[in-house]
């Protein structure tokens, strides 16, 4: 059993990615994992200013929600980032959070597996490539961690459409069941 942290990055209420995150979480719990879910909706996360003070102190100079989220990330065995794809990329709030997780770089972080679940209106297989590449760039900075897999659910166009999209829900559930 792993301690899995799922981070949803959409700020929209009842978003498609949030609905699929719920199914992923259900699958991960059914597979025996201890799952915690954090949504970035309503969170105050400032931009990293690149001062690098955190590399010496392992603490950020900003005192906002990213501080406690970073602690949750540090202590999880596996991470799942859930994002809608906007302009063929992860959400801005996901990228901002990744930047703010810089204090973890010199720390004794636990996470080893990192996953991504993404959702978009477009359905071509290459749609999530830039988002995956961006997450891979972050993972590459953590030598004990690896990109362990991704699920892309394309062709979901209308707000809250995933609630009626049983095929995408089933894929998300199975993806959750497959987490290691």
Per-residue pLDDT band for 16 (boundaries 50, 70, 90) equals very high
Mean pLDDT along residues 117-129: 97
* Cβ atoms 168, 176 nearer than 8 A: no
- Quick one: 3-42+51-177 is in which CATH superfamily? Flavodoxin domain (3.40.50.360)
**Average pLDDT of span 116-130:** 97
pLDDT score at 157? 86
* C-alpha to C-alpha distance for 136 and 92, rounded to whole angstroms: 16
> What are the sequence ranges of the domains in the chain?
3-42+51-177
pLDDT the model gives residue 126: 96
pLDDT exceeds cutoff 80 at 1: no
pLDDT the model gives residue 22: 98
Tens of pLDDT along 40-76? Answer: 999 999 999 999 999 999 999 999 999 999 999 999 9
Confidence of residue 14 (pLDDT cuts 50, 70, 90): confident
Contact 38, 5 (CB under 8 A): yes
Average pLDDT of the residues in 136-163: 95
Banded model confidence at residue 156, pLDDT cuts 50, 70, 90: very high
- pLDDT value of position 138: 98
Residue 13: per-residue pLDDT = 87
pLDDT for residue 160? 87
Q: Please state the rounded mean pLDDT for residues 64-93.
A: 97
Give me Rg for the CA atoms of the chain. Answer: 16
Q: Report the pLDDT value the prediction gives residue 159, as an integer from 0 to 100.
A: 86
If one counts every other C-beta atom within 10 angstroms of the C-beta of residue 59, the result is 12
Residue 163 DSSP class: G
């Amino acid at each position: 059993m792993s301690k899995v942290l799922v981070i949803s990055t959409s700020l929209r209420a009842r978003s498609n990615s949030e609905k699929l995150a719920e199914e992923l979480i259900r699958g991960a719990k059914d597979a025996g994992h201890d799952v915690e879910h954090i949504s970035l909706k309503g969170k105050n996360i400032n931009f990293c200013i690149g001062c690098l003070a955190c590399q010496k102190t392992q603490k950020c100079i900003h005192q906002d929600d990213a501080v406690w989220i970073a602690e949750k990330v540090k202590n999880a065995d596996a991470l799942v980032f859930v994002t809608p794809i906007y302009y063929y990329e992860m959400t801005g709030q996901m990228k901002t959070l990744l930047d703010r997780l810089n204090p973890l770089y010199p720390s004794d972080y636990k996470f080893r597996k990192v996953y991504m679940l993404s959702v978009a209106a477009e359905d071509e297989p290459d749609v999530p490539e830039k988002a995956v590449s961006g997450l891979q760039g972050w993972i590459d900075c953590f030598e004990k961690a690896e990109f362990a897999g991704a699920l892309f659910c394309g062709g979901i166009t209308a707000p809250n459409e995933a609630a009626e999209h049983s095929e995408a829900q089933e894929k998300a559930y199975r993806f959750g069941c497959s987490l290691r």
